[in-house]
Amino acid sequence: MPTSDDVRRLAEQLMAELSPEQQRTFLGAIGADRSMALVENVLRVPEPVVGDAPTRMRGVRVRLDLVGAKPPVWRRLELPGDLTLDRLHVVIQAVMGWLDGHLHRFRTGSDPR
Domain residue ranges in the chain: 4-43, 56-113
> How confident is the model over 31-71, as pLDDT tens digits?
666 666 666 666 677 788 888 877 887 888 989 888 889 99
CB-based burial, 56-93: b 16+ in 10 Å, e otherwise: eeeeeebeeeeeeeeeeeeeeeeeeeeeeeeebeeebe
3-state secondary structure of 77: strand
Provide the pLDDT for residue 80.
92
Summarize the confidence of residues 11-35 as an average pLDDT: 75
Provide the pLDDT for residue 87.
92
What is the model's pTM?
A: 0.46
Are the CB atoms for 67 and 85 separated by under 8 Å?
no
Confidence of residue 3 (pLDDT cuts 50, 70, 90): low
